[in-house]
Amino acid sequence: MESVVELPCAEFWRDKRVLITGHTGFKGSWLVQWLTRLGACVAGVALPPATEPNLFTLARIDKLLDGYCCDIRSRDALTSIVKAVRPEIVFHLAAQSLVRVGYRMPAETIEINVMGTAHVLEALRAVEAVRVAVLATTDKVYRNLDRRQPYREDDPLGGDDPYSASKAAAELIVESYRRSFFDDRRVAIATARAGNVIGGGDWAEDRLIPDAVRAWSRGQSLRVRRPDAVRPWQHVLEPLCGYLRLAESLWKAPDLAGPYNFGPDVRSAVSVRTIVELARVAYGGGNVVSDVVMGDGCEGPPEAGAIVLESAKASRVLGVVPRWTLQTAVERTMGWYRRQAAGEDARRLCEEDLTSYEKRLGR
């Protein structure tokens, strides 16, 4: 296949009608900023932000798009909005996205992630204008064997916990809709399986970097549940770059539809212990306490010990490769939080990160 550039193309995105579900979330707020920077006409469907503080409010994302408040479990309301927006490209990010919340609310997690995805696809069936849809799932869709061998797109799906199972089920739903309803229309439907993302503006519960920022900003110790767990950490701009490039490629070549992994180089998948130390140094200090050291063992329900993604398909087909090292990603993230806490504008900080990423500064 002809080689392609790594970054999204402003000429392609200019004046494209784009719909994002989950635009009030962390990843959605970053995506809105990037798309409007590229000249797209963006609309969003989501519930109000789930945390306080949140990036959507701090960065004034509502000023950048036409936003609609709607629960994706409300099929009729969602369909009405999608018909009104008439999007050409859709990014489905709305989800219940936390493993431990999935244990507390399994039925609701399944309802949001499985039926919510089905409702989005049903709504798209009613819109002739749509050409491309990228539906975000997770790196946890694979049948996990707690191995360091990276998972590829053709590995078996699975899910030992409710969250992972709901996302694996969503993958099957997407594939069935693609084959049954969209291939004949030449509408390109793809899923994006991204590794653990970090970046400024995430205040979700039970996420490592937000937990660290909360603890250290208050002079408290960060409590780490599983210091030896391995994950494919990456800055949020890495998978978003992949999502945008995927949509561009699908527009031109619908036959490229299907699942795509987006993660760092397999050698960059590191333990919680390692990323905590990088974050502590970048933040300028902070105490860390491990549950294992405290004699509590691994607190809470089971979680996968190791997840590593192979992203060779994204590199080969889309020309997408990581632009920032893990150290750079952590430094940019912790710097964002420090500067925002000191009074700097969240939107401006995001714009600075976008500019640095596009210019590949701080590799």
Q: Who's near 274: CB < 8 A, 6+ residues apart?
A: none
Residues 99/139, Cβ–Cβ less than 8 Å? no
Residue type, 50: A
Give the count of beta carbons closer than 10 Å to the beta carbon of residue 15: 8
Q: Who's near 115: CB < 8 A, 6+ residues apart?
A: 73
Q: Who's near 183: CB < 8 A, 6+ residues apart?
A: 257
Distances (CA, A) of 205 to 88, 107, 202: 34, 19, 9
* Dist CA 35 CA 42 (whole Å): 7
Q: Is the peptide bond before 53 cis (omega within 30 degrees of 0)?
A: yes
- The SS3 call for residue 160 is coil
Residues 275/283, Cβ–Cβ less than 8 Å? no
pLDDT of 292 reads: 52
Q: What is the DSSP letter of 308?
A: -
* Dist CA 265 CA 155 (whole Å): 18
pLDDT of 299 reads: 56
* Dist CA 279 CA 277 (whole Å): 5
Binning the chain into helix, strand and coil, the percentages to the nearest 5 are: 45, 15, 40
* Dist CA 12 CA 61 (whole Å): 22
Query: In this structure, is the dihedral angle defined by the CA atoms of residues 139, 143, 149 and 152, taken in order, positive or negative?
Result: negative
Distances (CA, A) of 128 to 65, 179, 182, 186, 248: 22, 17, 11, 11, 18
* Dist CA 122 CA 133 (whole Å): 12
pLDDT of 119 reads: 98
DSSP characters over 91-105: EE--S---HHHHHHS
Backbone angles phi, psi at 135, to 5 degrees: -110, 120
Number of residues that make up the chain: 363
Residue numbers of the chain with a pLDDT score lower than 70: 1-5, 291-300, 302-304, 361-363
pLDDT of 80 reads: 98
Q: Provide, rounded to the nearest whole percent, the portion of the chain with pLDDT above 90.
A: 87
Domains (ranges, CATH) in the chain? Answer: 13-359 (3.40.50.720)
Q: Who's near 28: CB < 8 A, 6+ residues apart?
A: 20, 21, 22, 44, 46, 56, 93, 94
Backbone angles phi, psi at 288, to 5 degrees: -135, 135
Q: What is the DSSP letter of 48?
A: S
Assigned token pair, 293: 């050291």
* Dist CA 333 CA 72 (whole Å): 30
Buried residues in 218-255 as b, exposed as e (16+ CB within 10 A): eeeebbbbbbebbbbbbbbbbbbbbbbbbbbbbbeebe
